[in-house]
Amino acid sequence: MFWTSKRPVVALTEVSSYDNGSRNTSPAEKTTHSQDARSRKSSFLWTLRKTDSECSLEGEHKHGWKPVTLSAPVLVLVAIIEILAQQSQREGGLALSPSADDLPTYVTFGYLFLPTIIAAWFEMSKDEGATAKNSILLAYPYDFVGTVPIKAARRRHWPTFLAGTVMVIIFWLITPLQSAIMGTGIVSVKRDMAFSTNTQFEPIVEHEYLLDQSVLNEGYAITWLNQPLPPFTAPDYTVLPFYPSRNISLTNAANWTGITTKYSTALNCWPAQAAQQGPASRRTFYFDNGRGCNVSDIVPHPSSGGATPFKMLYFGYQGSPYADYALGTPTCSSNSTHQFLATWSTFQNFNKSIDDIHLEAIFCETNYHKQKVQVTITTDQLAPVSQSIIPLESPQPLSATEFNVSSFEYLLGAGVSAVELFVQREHPFGRVLEQLPKIKDLGLTWPMSPMVGFAVGSQKVTNMNELNNQTGLAEAYNSTHQLMFSLALRRLLLNATTSSISDGTVIFDLHGVIVSRLFSAVVEGLLCLVAVLTLLLCWTSSIAPCNLTRDPASLGDLIRICRNSLPLLEQFAGKDCLTEDDMTATFPQQRFRLVCGCRTRSGEMKIKILDDTGDRDASVIILGQEDALSLTRGHYSPVRPYVMRRDFGLMFILVMITAIVGLAVLKSKEKADGGLAQPDASFEVLKILLNYLPTVFATLLEPMWVLLNRLMCMIQPFKDLWSGSRPAKGSINARYTSVPPQLVFWRALGARHFLLATVCFVALMSNLLAVGLSGIFNQLPVKTFQPRSFEQTLLPRLINKTMYSLDVPWNTRAISYEEPFYVAMNNLSQGTPLPPWHNHEYFFQPFTIDAKKDETKVETYKARTRGLGVVPTCRSGGSFTSKGDGPVLQNVNSLKDMLAFDCPETYQPGALDTNKEMYTLPSGRSSAEVVDTVTQNFTLEGCDVTFILGWSRSSEVEAGDGRMETSFAMCRPVFTTAMFDLTVDTEGYVLEADRVSEHEEDLGYPDSIKHVESMIIVLNHLLRDNQMHWHNDTVSRDWFNYLIKIQPGFEDLLDPQTPVPNPDDLIPTIESLYRQLYALLLGLNDNIFERSEKPAIIEGTRQQTEVRIFIPLAAFIISIAVLSLNILTAVVLYTHGVKFFLPRMPTTVGSVLAYVAPSRAVSEYHDGGVALNKSTTFSFGRYIGVDGRAHVGIEIDPFVVPVKLSSLRKGETQPSSLLRRTFTRKSTSESGDTWL
């Protein structure tokens, strides 16, 4: 080799060195070639045989090196993981977590990034080699991830295309969709469970005693008072109770399914043959069932119309003193014992003619069945699910030994039990149930059977003409019979000593995730695609030739590979200042091939240059003067990668600042408004808006930080070398690119590269940002309030005329008005809700509710309205001892009442008199109760405002003048009213009442005190019982004592064996009960209040539960913290961390090679060290290469001069001319010119 100063002509031959003086290159080692130097692939796709990847040298030598993560076992494992994830997704949709996001980082790096890093070496390992653009000038690892598959496809680099495609799919499809695929919800889990049935029916002889008015009272509460059905009961059937055989938490159990017995009844109805009987003036009929039974002299409608034009009759087969009619007559055969007759009639006009009556009549026959079924029971109400019933046997008739049908049908026909005349029951259950107050507004004539009230109530009739047909009549009574039969059976159940076990299932409601079918199908397809692409990557990687013998992970490794490729070094000598585009243009058609050391004389890898004619040993290249001069460039402009420029950094920082500001604004609005309004969109669209898009933003930031991280990992060794005097270990041997960029953290920290470590940490934290942003928006149901106007027509003013007319039920002598007491009884004993506009103390002035006008589903309304109630003001009357007669109470009336109404001052209860011979007194220790007013008048006078209660005990009542002990409580109720903020549901049921004004004792109009006290007297008269009731049992004889008795702690209130009650202990309960009854009396009879012609408008709010969007504090803090760290790091990076001093980025093999090709480092570096001196250091700068020319690149110290940034910024790096050197020698040297 020779050099000339003016016209250099270089003859390059494939020798071991340029000359012995300038390059110390060891002679080529003796090499023994194998018969076939080319690597042979195994016929089996997934494995490589060891012998096929080796070449025999003097020592054992291997080629075909590939990363372990590109080996068949690892890639097949990745594909299996993806396939399993897809299978899990298809089966439950809940196993997405062990997919792409949760793969270890090194695995992800291995099969996604390494194919792009070693792609150039794969290309050069082909027999035909590869062009410079597709090999040594290939820069996949430093391209933006989204462009890699496109570039690779154009160049037909299939492993890189597959890996890049998988990377894009996981980054921007699977990862964001995983956050949008699921939403929180209820997940049902089914488990097998054994169930036990430990109930049986009472003995048949007890049925006639148990089937009493309590069955009808329960039906009344269900029909009219909105009381829930009993457990295991539906409106048309009931099933025997069954429970899990072991304890389970019912709070999480949604329902259970088991085998039990279903009991039901059904009516068989047909039209009755009706005809007039006798003269038309009698208006009597007879009815024939056409099956051997007829009844006569029936008056279907005795009235002449008026306000009550309708009449309904129901009578069964058995006669009773409590029933007007019965089928059990000599004209009915025995096969009619389970039939009844039902009629509906109305007057069409008021003439004295039979034709004036419109009549519908049906006969019905009852049938009772049992059937073995499988049924599902809900755990919240223990209600059977009708749609779940699966018959296991055909229905069987219910036998006479199981159920006393006669007693049941007697109860329905007569309204009392079959043994009513022989049994003493609690007061409410020893009376005929009257439902006239519930249906009086429909124009129905009294008297009526309880079944008539149930038939009307079961159909929610608002006009009696709705039953003006035989079909409607039959349906009404059929549903009524079914309900009564189910309640009757429940009354007969008792716990058995043994239980039967059957198999069933329990379904638990667990809080889990709801999987969008659309997104899950998309993710399933993507997972399948990833699995397929991974397998293809495995296949293409296994067949791709690779002549590498080691990992080219550092500058030193690249030098070791290229130091034996002398033609290659000569080609790149002098290209140090070229840009990337110029570098690519320099080698437009030349091809390069990587040759394994087993095929070279030196025994080392080398890169050969293939000429255009196919010559595979282009070892002599003549360089002309123009080419030689072009190798020397004095001036160059440092390359500035776009992603590392400050203008890009400013835009990058502004995007993240905008994200922080946006999150802060949304969080502030969420705090102020109680959540963000949710868009009205489908589940999938909401998931896109709330989960997918935020995750996409995070996954866009992550590739940007990874790209910056990778560029800094690539630049850091050059930056250290540019600083000067760096040993090989921390510079050219630095392996920052051999691991995922994020995992360089510890290496950078150990090397005290703190900014690089910070960027690595931020890149890692980008994954945390994706987690934070994927859950940044959470949907939760919350209560919201909107203003609403309401109308009020009812005025707090009582109508004097109505209070004293027959329009109010307490003035009707036909029945005893007891509706408030039934309501209170069911509320206290069964938890039945109070009627709308009531709580336990007040009746509230109603306001109109029309939920249909609201666009959304409203749950509650709130407005300010008036509450009307009473303060009982009870006190103890003392305890007394007397003989024969009850004690005399003093000062029972106030002075005001005595002066105003001439009221008596004393009171003596007549109910305690034991000297009356007309009563049969009980034997033994007995008790009696007093529920009375001061007078026995029926007028609404002020004297009876005082309410008196007493309890007496005696052991000598039979003697007539026996000694008795008596205690009293006296109440002087006072009306009270106040304004309340009232919250009600859509039907007016009171949920909350907050008093907002002081109490007042009148309604602010003349006679208001008189009116409200009259209502107090009405209640007192309804409660009082002045009959003698000495008894030696514990059964109640009046409503008030029964209502006290059913409350906790007062079970022995009426027990004669206990001492006389202490009135002070009873007064709180008395007052509470009295307040409730007074409020019910007002509210159930609101026709006593005036109505305004023009409704008053009041303002209030409507409350509804709607799903709103919240930003969880944890996700908000994570997102803000990570974004703040990103901004801080970006500010430091773009202001102080980026130094531009390289002519081009060392992103390709050729780019790096041009920096070292003419330097002494190439010849003196081998086996990871320097041959001459291990303490030798390296620097990046300007140096005189072995070719005698000036270069920019990496050289051994002290043969290199650092490049000054100031000279690059001033542009004073071009060689000075002779004239300039002559006249500006001094200034040139002072300007920092780095030319030697």
Cis peptide before 1198 (omega within 30 of 0): yes
Dist. CA 533–CA 525, nearest whole Å: 12
Q: Which of 30-34, 61-65, 1051-1055, 1177-1181 has the highest mean pLDDT?
A: 1051-1055
d(CA 64, CA 84): 31
| Distance between CA atoms of residues 208 and 420, nearest Å | 9
Per the rule left: phi > 0, alpha: psi between -120 and 50, beta: everything else, 382 is: left
pTM beyond 0.85: the answer is no
Identity of the amino acid at 887? P
When pLDDT is cut at 50, 70 and 90, the band that residue 958 belongs to is: confident
Phi-psi region of 974 (alpha: psi -120 to 50; beta: other; left: phi over 0): beta
Which pLDDT does position 41 carry in this prediction? Answer: 34
For residue 208, give the nearest of 341, 313, 320, 325 by alpha carbon: 320
CB 544 within 8 A of CB 552: no
Q: What is the mean pLDDT of residues 393-408?
A: 93
Instruction: Give the whole-angstrom CA distance, residue 575 versus residue 580.
Output: 10
| Per-residue pLDDT band at 744 (split at 50, 70, 90) | confident
Q: What is the predicted pLDDT for the residue at 622?
A: 38
Q: Is the pLDDT of residue 1186 over 80?
A: yes
Question: How confident is residue 753, by pLDDT bands cut at 50, 70 and 90?
Answer: confident
Cβ atoms 501, 258 nearer than 8 A: no
What local confidence, expressed as pLDDT, does residue 1235 receive?
44
Q: Model confidence over 853-912: pLDDT tens digits?
A: 655 577 889 999 999 999 999 999 999 999 888 899 988 876 666 666 778 888 999 888
Confidence check: pLDDT of 247 > 50: yes
Report CA-CA distances (Å) from 658 to 691, 901, 1131.
18, 83, 15
Residue 180: which pLDDT band, with cuts at 50, 70 and 90?
low
Q: Note the pLDDT of residue 1190.
A: 84
Confidence of residue 56 (pLDDT cuts 50, 70, 90): very low
Please state, in angstroms and as integers, the Cα–Cα distance from residue 690 to each residue in 40, 259, 695, 998, 1085, following that order: 54, 46, 9, 50, 54
What 3-state DSSP class applies to 50? Answer: helix
The string of DSSP letters for 1112-1132 reads -HHHHHHHHHHHHHHHHHHHH
pLDDT digits 0-9 by tens, 453-469? 999 999 999 889 999 99
Average pLDDT over residues 1113-1128: 88
Cβ(198)–Cβ(532) below 8 Å:
no
Q: At which residue do the structure tokens 């209860």 appear?
A: 909
Which is nearest to 945 in space by CA: 992, 898, 980, 982?
898
253 versus 978: the higher-pLDDT residue is: 978
Q: Model confidence at 1174, in pLDDT bands (50, 70, 90)?
A: low
Q: How confident is the model over 414-436, as a mean pLDDT?
A: 90
pLDDT in tens, 377-386: 998 889 999 9
3-state secondary structure of 1071: helix
C-alpha atoms less than 13 angstroms from C-alpha of 652 in its C-beta half-sphere: 25
Confidence of residue 554 (pLDDT cuts 50, 70, 90): low
Which of these, 596, 582, 607, 714, lies nearest to 117 by C-alpha position?
714
803, with CB counted inside 10 A (0-12, 13-18, 19+), is: buried
Q: Enter the tokens of residue 535.
A: 């397998």
User: Looking at 245-254, 279-288, 472-481, which range is the least confident one?
Assistant: 245-254
Choice between 403 and 626, residue whose per-residue pLDDT is larger: 403
Checking if the pLDDT of 1148 tops 90, the result is: no
Provide the 8-state DSSP code for 504: E
Mean pLDDT of 921-937: 90
For 89-112, what is each residue's pLDDT tens digit? Answer: 444 333 333 333 443 443 333 433
Pairwise CA distance, residues 1117 & 1124, whole Å:
10
E strand spans, 764-858: 778-798, 842-844
Strand spans (E) along 604-725: 606-610, 676-677
226: number of CA atoms within 13 Å, CB side? 7
**Rounded CA separation 533/82 (Å):** 11
Q: What percentage of the chain carries pLDDT values higher than 70?
A: 74
Q: Which of 327-341, 499-513, 1002-1016 has the lowest mean pLDDT?
A: 499-513
Of the two residues 1206 and 1151, the one the predictor is more confident about is 1151
Query: Which residues, listed in sequence order, are joined to residue 926 by a DSSP beta bridge?
Result: 954
Determine the pLDDT at residue 52: 37
How far is the CA of 778 from the CAs of 184, 523, 772, 1108, 1112, in angstroms? 9, 22, 11, 8, 7
DSSP code at position 839? -
Query: Which pLDDT score, from 0 to 100, does residue 673 have?
Result: 82
Q: What is the pLDDT of residues 354-370, one digit of tens each?
A: 567 788 999 999 999 99
The CA-based dihedral angle spanning residues 421, 422, 428, 433, taken in that order and rounded to the nearest 10 degrees? -30
- Give the 3-state secondary structure percentages of the chain, helix then strand then coil, rounded to 5: 40, 25, 40
Average pLDDT over residues 920-945: 87
Residue pLDDT, tens place only, 1091-1110: 998 999 999 998 888 888 88
pLDDT at 597 over 70: no
Q: Between these two residues, 326 and 32, which has the higher pLDDT value?
A: 326
Give the Cα separation of 263 and 368 in Å (integer): 7
How does the average pLDDT of the chain come out, rounded? 77
Query: Mean pLDDT across the stretch 433-439?
Result: 88
pLDDT band at residue 584, thresholds of 50, 70 and 90?
confident
pLDDT band, residue 79 (cuts 50/70/90)? low
Q: Which parts of 754-872 fold into alpha helices (H)?
A: 754-774, 800-803, 819-830
CA distances from 1088 to 306, 493, 1085 (A): 21, 44, 6
Mean per-residue pLDDT, 488-503: 87
List the one residue out of 903, 1082, 1043, 890 whose CA is nearest residue 970: 890
pLDDT exceeds 50 at position 1140 = yes
Nearest to 65 by CA among 141, 128, 122, 136: 122
pLDDT digits (tens, 9 = 90+) for 713-726: 878 888 888 887 77
Amino acid at 934: V
Comparing 1236 with 1147, the larger pLDDT belongs to 1147
Q: Could you give the C-alpha distances from 1021 to 653, 770, 1039, in angstroms and in order?
A: 84, 75, 12
The confidence score (pLDDT) of residue 25 equals 36
CA distance 491 to 211: 7
pLDDT given for residue 683 in this prediction = 65
Tell me the pLDDT band of 512, cut-offs 50, 70 and 90.
Answer: low
Q: Token pair for residue 253?
A: 């159990």
Q: Which residue has the tokens 């079918």?
A: 517
- Give me the mean pLDDT over the 192-216 stretch: 91
User: Cβ(964)–Cβ(911) under 8 Å?
Assistant: no
Residue 598 or 1089, more confident? 1089
The strand pairing partners of 444, in sequence order, are 310
* Beta carbons within 8 Å of 664's beta carbon, 6+ residues apart: 1120
The answer, yes or no, to whether residue 23 has pLDDT greater than 50, is: no
> Is 1098 strand, coil or helix?
strand
* Residue 739 pLDDT: 65
